[in-house]
Structure formats: structure tokens, C-alpha cells
Structure 1
């Protein structure tokens, strides 16, 4: 009993360090725990990951090898979903990607609707250029989780590879309604436009720079990039909406209102906003406060 309690305390300390990102301390605690329980699959998995993060790939792969051996030993007696899940990163670490699909298929035999298994299967099918099959997996996820951003982005990528550009663009546009400044969607839509229209630079390349400047609180640069993006192409609602968010952040409410109105003209559900009257009432109140405080002229 004392041994078990001691192990639990050691693992608890390791997890605390791990969650705080203190990888060296987490490693030391997990090594101490492993000395107490050498065949603990969860500890082996965490050590493989930690050594990968620390850049010690040979050691990481060594733990992955041990992890796989222990997983396979357990699976000889019983098919356990959690053990199959732990096999996947170990196989990826060891570059045994062909076996990854076999494990994923085993997971789907247990639960054909398992979201993580479907998503991982779509990823490997996409890597093998089996885009139609990848889409089948993604559609299963979206039936249950229609706003799952990772799946929408994945669906768009596969559709682009099949030259189904309009459908792909709808996927990215839906992501923008959920996250107006999603950088992955911005990048992917730029790639789509370049491929569709044989372009070398797009308004979305400039939008990405605007969003990155926004995140660094370089608001002047962000405003300049938004202007350049809209000068290049003014027909994309997501650029207008993201610019509106910048104007709110910098206190230019009149400019924000104008930018949002333009976004809604192009796409009435921009930013996921459906109650436009209430939205603009809120902005109008913000503007009146700014005028009262002298931050903005009445008009």
C-alpha cells in the first residue's frame, strides 16, 4: 500500500511540472515513477513525449520502442481503446506510419464514429493523396460536430486538391464566421486563390500580416496592411470584419461600424453575427461614450 501511494504522489508531482511546462523537472519525476513501475504505459508515453520536446530524439524513440512492446503485450490479451490510442504517437515517432492506419482501423472497429480516430485517419489518407477517402472521414465528424474547425480546414484542403474550389472556400468562410482572424484559414484561403487564379500574392497574404501585426499590438502596421489588402480585393467579408475588430481595439468606433456594415453586405453572417440591430446598437453606445470622452468626433 505504501509503495502504491508513493507512486501516485510521484506521478502527481510529475503531472504538475508537465502542465506548467517545466519539462526537466517533469522528466525527473517521471523517471523516478518509472523506477517504481517499469511497465507503466502512461509514464512511458509521457517520457517519450518529453524527450521529444527536449530535442533528445534517440532517447524519445527508445521510450517509444518500450511503450510499443508494453502496448502489444497488453493487446495480446484484450483490445483496449486507450492502449490503441497510445500506440499511435509511438508509431509516428518511430516513423512506422504504415502501421498507424492499422491501429486507427482497430479503433474504428470499436467505435466507428470515434472523432479522434476519424480525424487521424483523414490526416493519413490526405498524406497519401487519397483525398476522396479523407473527405468521407471528415464528413462523418462534421455530421456530429458541424463547427469543428480542424475538420473544416481539413475538408477545405482536400477539396482544393480535388479542384473543388468553391466548396473549399465555403469551408474556410465558415471558419471565419467562428474565428474571424483564424490564421490557418487565412493561409489556406490564400493558397486556394493562388491556385485557382494563378496568383503570386493575394489580399489574404496581406490580411495575415495585418492579423499578425494586430497580435503584436502594432496597430498602425495592422491598419496599413488591412488597407492594402482591401485595395487589392474588396470582396472578402472576412477582411472587412477583421478590420472592424481592429478599429474597435483602437477605439475608432465610426470606422468599425463602416467596416462591419461592409462585411455584412457581403456575408450577412460575418463573424457569426446574426442579430445585426443589437450589434450596431452596442457599437453606437460605444461611439457615444467615445464622443462624450472626446476620443471621437460626433457624426
Structure 2
């Protein structure tokens, strides 16, 4: 019991560290887990993923090979969804995609609506240029999980390959309602616009630079990139909305309100916010407090 409690606490700590992007700390915590239980497949999988994130390709390969060996050993006596998913993860990471899809097909025989299984199948088909088939599997994922961001991004990519640009753009725009600063959606929408119009530089390229600056806590540079993005093209509500969020972070509430108003003019539910009255009421309260404190002028 003490052993299990210790292991559970370590797993909880590692998960918290991953959530906070403290990847080196998380890796060390999972290594403690691994020392306590070298056969734990979840720990092997997490160590492999963290090694990839940290750019330690040899370590990632080693953990994936250990994971694959352990999964194969356990699959001799039992065939479970967890084992098949983890085995497929290891095979994909090791770039053994044809073997991985055989495992995914086994999983879908056991559980036809398994979300991750359907998603992996869709990705495999996309990589092989079978876009129509890939779309069928993505739609099955989204039928069961309408707000699945990776699936929405994949659907946008596939639709773009099928030259269905308007539908692809709607996928990315829906992602912006769920995650207003999603870098993958920003990049993919930029690629889509370039493909449609042959542009070399888009407003979304500069939006991405703004978000990257924001992530580095370089808020002044982020503000400049947002301005440049809107100078190129001011017709995208997600850029106005993200700029508004930046202004809140900078304490510029009046500027934030103006940016959000422009976003809502372009899209009445920009940022996924449908009750704008309550939203602006909150912002106006923040503005009054700022003015009372002398941070902003009338």
C-alpha cells in the first residue's frame, strides 16, 4: 500500500509538472516512478514523450523500444485497448507506421468508436494521401467529440488538400473559439490563405510572431506584431480578439475594449463569447478600477 501511494503521488506530481510545462522536472519525477516500477507501461510512454519534447531522440527511441517490448509481452496473455494504443504510439514514434496501423485496426475491431484509434487511423490515411478516407474517420471522431481540437485541425488540413478552402477555414475558425491563441490553427490558416491567394506573407504569420513574443513575456513586441498583422489584413476577428487579450494582460483595458468591439463587429461570437453584454460589463468594471488607481485616463 505504501509503495502504491508513493507511486501515485509521483505520477500526480509529474502530471502537474507537465501541465505547467516543467518538462525537465517531470522527466526526473517519471524517472523516480521508473525506478520504483521498471515495468510500468504508462511511465515508459510518458518518458518517451518527454524525451521527444526535450529533443533527446536517442532516449525517446530507447523508451519506445522498451514500451513496445513490454506491450508485446503482455499482449500474449491479454488484448486490451490500453496495450494496443500504447503499442501503436511506440510504433508511430519509431516511424513504423505500417505496423502501427495494423495495431490500430485491431483496436478498432475491439472498440469501433475508440476516439484515439479513429484519430490515428485518420492521420495514417492523411499521411498516405488518402484524404477522402481520412475525412471519414475524422468525422467519426468529431461525431463523438465535437470539440476535439486536434481532429478539427486535421479536418482543416485534409479539406485544404481537397481544395475545399471555405470548409477548411471554418475548422480553423472554430478552433479559435475554443483556443483563441492556438499556434497550429494560426499557422494552418496562414498556409491556407497562401494556397488560396499565393501570398508570401499573411497577417497570421505576424499574429504567430505576436503570440510567440507573448509566450516569451515580450509584450511590447507582441503589441507591435499585432499592429503589423492588422495593417496587412484587418478582416480576421481572431486577430482583434487575441490583441484584446494582450491588452488586458498589459493593463490597457480601454484599448482591449476597442479591440474586442472590432472583433465582435466581424464575428458576433468571436472568442466563443456569446453573451457580450456580460463580457463588456466586466471589462468596464476593470476600466473603472484602473482609472481610480490612476493607470488609465478618462
The TM tier, using the shorter chain, reads 0.7 to 0.9
Tell me how far apart the structure 2 counterparts of residues 118 and 159 of structure 1 sit (CA, whole Å).
Answer: 17
Give the match for residue 152 of structure 2.
Answer: 152
Structure 1 residue 146, shift from structure 2 partner: 1.1
Give the match for residue 241 of structure 1.
Answer: 241
- 2:210 touches 2:226 (CA, 8 Å); kept in 1? yes
Tell me how far apart the structure 1 counterparts of residues 267 and 51 of structure 2 sit (CA, whole Å).
Answer: 44
Q: TM-score, normalised by structure 1?
A: 0.84
Tell me how far apart the structure 1 counterparts of residues 236 and 57 of structure 2 sit (CA, whole Å).
Answer: 45
Q: Do residues 106 (structure 1) and 106 (structure 2) align?
A: yes
Tell me how far apart the structure 1 counterparts of residues 141 and 245 of structure 2 sit (CA, whole Å).
Answer: 31
Q: Do residues 259 (structure 1) and 259 (structure 2) align?
A: yes
Tell me how far apart the structure 1 counterparts of residues 57 and 250 of structure 2 sit (CA, whole Å).
Answer: 45
3-state SS of paired residue (1:235): coil
3-state SS of paired residue (1:113): coil
Q: Do residues 30 (structure 1) and 29 (structure 2) align?
A: no
Structure exhibiting the larger radius of gyration computed from Cα positions = 1
- 2:45 touches 2:86 (CA, 8 Å); kept in 1? no
Cα RMSD after superposing both structures: 2.8
- 2:226 touches 2:243 (CA, 8 Å); kept in 1? yes
Moved more, 211-220 or 6-15: 6-15
Q: Structure 1 pair 296/168, CA: closer, same or farther in 2 (3 Å)? A: same
Tell me how far apart the structure 2 counterparts of residues 245 and 144 of structure 1 sit (CA, whole Å).
Answer: 31
Q: Structure 1 pair 262/97, CA: closer, same or farther in 2 (3 Å)? A: same
- 1:13 touches 1:29 (CA, 8 Å); kept in 2? no
- 2:30 touches 2:47 (CA, 8 Å); kept in 1? no
Tell me how far apart the structure 1 counterparts of residues 145 and 46 of structure 2 sit (CA, whole Å).
Answer: 33
Structure 1 residue 93, shift from structure 2 partner: 4.1
Tell me how far apart the structure 1 counterparts of residues 179 and 224 of structure 2 sit (CA, whole Å).
Answer: 22
5+ residue gaps, structure 2, are: 18-24
- 2:45 touches 2:67 (CA, 8 Å); kept in 1? no
Matched residue pairs, number? Answer: 288
Moved more, 71-80 or 23-32: 23-32
Give the match for residue 231 of structure 1.
Answer: 231
Deviations 1:60-107 (A, max 9, x none): 656655654554454345432222122113323443211111110111
5+ residue gaps, structure 1, are: 35-39
Give the match for residue 48 of structure 2.
Answer: 49
Q: Structure 1 pair 94/147, CA: closer, same or farther in 2 (3 Å)? A: closer
3-state SS of paired residue (2:113): coil
Q: TM-score, normalised by structure 2?
A: 0.84
Moved more, 166-175 or 72-81: 72-81
